[in-house]
């Protein structure tokens, strides 16, 4: 089963990454409260994780990707953006 969201601690902040459609919904809710960033203070992370899990979302820390995995993901995203005119890069 795929997690709805994963997160990465980035020093002062923790960034959420949606992994499913349900995760996108949760991420958008977080983004509405964080000026569109989808990040929370690391000190707030335990409370946010509790809230997400109580709401029924599955959340786990993101695994560290290898350079090859990053390259593969970036190639997929670039291909998706260039072949689908309804998707635009930010």
- Is residue 87, in this structure, part of any structural domain at all? no
Question: What pLDDT, on the 0 to 100 scale, is given for residue 87?
Answer: 56
Residue at 90 is within a domain: no
CB atoms within 10 A of CB 57: 19
- Whether residue 13 lies inside any domain: the answer is yes
- pLDDT in single tens digits along all 90 residues of the chain: 799 999 999 999 999 999 999 999 999 999 999 999 999 999 999 999 999 999 999 999 998 878 898 888 888 878 877 776 665 555
In a domain, 38, yes or no: yes
Phi (first) and psi of residue 13, to 5 degrees: -120, 160
Look at residues 10, 12, 6, 65 and name the one whose alpha carbon lies nearest to residue 30. 6
The residues that bridge with 60 in the sheet, in sequence order, are 6
| Residue 60 covered by a domain | yes
Domain that holds residue 10: 5-64
Spatial separation of the C-alpha atoms in residues 26 and 20, rounded to whole Å:
10
The answer to whether residue 34 is domain-embedded is yes
Domain count along the chain: 1
């Amino acid at each position: 089963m795929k997690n709805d969201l994963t997160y990465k601690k980035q020093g002062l902040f923790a960034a959420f990454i949606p992994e499913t459609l349900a995760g996108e919904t949760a991420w958008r809710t977080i983004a509405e409260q964080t000026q569109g960033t989808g990040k929370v203070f690391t000190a707030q992370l335990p409370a946010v994780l509790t809230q997400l899990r109580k709401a029924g979302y599955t959340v786990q820390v993101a695994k560290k990707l290898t350079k090859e995995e990053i390259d593969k993901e970036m190639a997929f995203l670039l291909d998706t953006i260039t072949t689908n005119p309804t998707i635009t890069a930010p």
